[in-house]
Structure 1
């Protein structure tokens, strides 16, 4: 993968897979590799109904843990 996908569902799936399979230790390392800022990814996905859980190292639907 040379770039992060633009489609929110595919982006969430890709980021979560890369973190789960330990391709990257942190969201920051993943974003650095793809030339983007973690806050930009978090903001974009928050706008599409996802929030980042640092504890779980994954994006989850807003309200999932409530």
Structure 2
């Protein structure tokens, strides 16, 4: 199972929402968090609302299929 760049960004967003930006900065450092923010902003700007709506279900399908196969 391989997640696309868009799917990985969405997963990172979920993690950030879960642990908070401050904890992420402690883990990765301010510079990397700022880079991730730029990447996420570019992705959001270049993704249609209908594409955004499909990201979550695609991630769930890929993760669940991978877990079942293991």
User: TM-score, structure 2 length as denominator?
Assistant: 0.36
Looking at secondary structure, tell me which structure has more strand per residue.
Answer: 1
- Which protein shows a greater Rg? 2
Structure (1/2) with the larger helix percentage: 2
